[in-house]
Structure 1
Amino acid sequence: MTAMTAALEDLLRPGSDRGSLSAWRWSVRRQLVPVRDQLLREHPARHEAWLSARATRMLRERDELIARLNAVAAEVLSAPDADDLADRLTRLLADIARHHQRVDDLAWDDVELEIGGSE
């Protein structure tokens, strides 16, 4: 996911070149598509009972992130303040990164259960 968001993060940096604001907006909009697609491709695996609550939380969190991403994507082309838009997208990308870390943690906990843990 980090490789996918690297180009978007470069566009959102405060010092990035926004010479042509409309071209910048379209570039940001195009970079949001693979991020959204990656979130949509997440699907829950079957988990043991002790992990099912966390897996359900991950799905709810993913749905909230998709809703936020859709709302911001709708504003990209028309938001009056590009700096505010960039700040909101930067926060959203940080939240998506934390979400993916929690998904990875859940997968590792599931694997740890299968092989007997680290005790």
Structure 2
Amino acid sequence: MPSAPAPALQALHLALDALPPPAARQGAALGNWRWTVRQRLAAVRELLISGLPPVVIESPDSVEGDRVVLLRQRNTLLERLHALDPQILQSPHPDVVRRDLMRLLIDVDGYARRLESVRRPTPTGT
């Protein structure tokens, strides 16, 4: 996964950072933040579902094991994303939602890096 996930992850990160200060978390400002975050999260969901092609592992060692681990990690990330989605619009505590989404974002980035390292051919020879 070269640079494909970077724009979706970066867009979600920027949206999360735009949480209005506590004094301005009423009405349209908070509502706009919630909808923007939800839209950016949809792009990350799409990335996890279809933006990452099936795993093709170059190394013959533990091919199926690596594939199973990556699929489990992806499914766990999707389950977390699904659980957080309604909270974006409904939670009375946007700070908590932001914190949980930042953790998810970090984990999705880690997953993308692991996927890339598994897909990257290992150098042969010296």
Give the TM-score, by structure 2 length.
Answer: 0.80
| 2:13 matched residue in structure 1 | 9
| 1:53 matched residue in structure 2 | 65
Aligned 1:17-96 pairs, distance under 5 A: 17-18=19-20, 19=24, 20-41=29-50, 42=52, 43-45=54-56, 48-96=60-108
Give the TM-score, by structure 1 length.
Answer: 0.84
State the alpha-carbon separation in 1 of the partners of residues 70 and 55 from structure 2.
9
Contact 1:25 1:76 in 2 (8 A): yes
Change (3 A) 1:118 1:67: farther
| More divergent stretch after superposition (66-75 vs 16-25) | 16-25
For structure 1, the residue ranges without an aligned partner over 5 or more in a row are: none
Higher RCO by CA contacts (8 Å cutoff, separation 6 or greater): 2
State the alpha-carbon separation in 2 of the partners of residues 118 and 82 from structure 1.
52
Runs of 4+ in 1 over 3 A off after TM superposition: none
Count of aligned pairs between the two proteins:
112
For structure 2, the residue ranges without an aligned partner over 5 or more in a row are: none
- Residue 52 of structure 1, CA deviation: 2.0
Contact 1:55 1:106 in 2 (8 A): no
Contact 2:8 2:44 in 1 (8 A): yes
- Residue 46 of structure 1, CA deviation: 6.2
Change (3 A) 1:34 1:118: farther
Q: Deviations over 1:12-66 (max 9, x none)?
A: 12xx352411111011001111100010013233663523211210000000000
State the alpha-carbon separation in 2 of the partners of residues 87 and 28 from structure 1.
13
Q: Deviations over 1:52-105 (max 9, x none)?
A: 211210000000000100110121100110011000000000000000000001
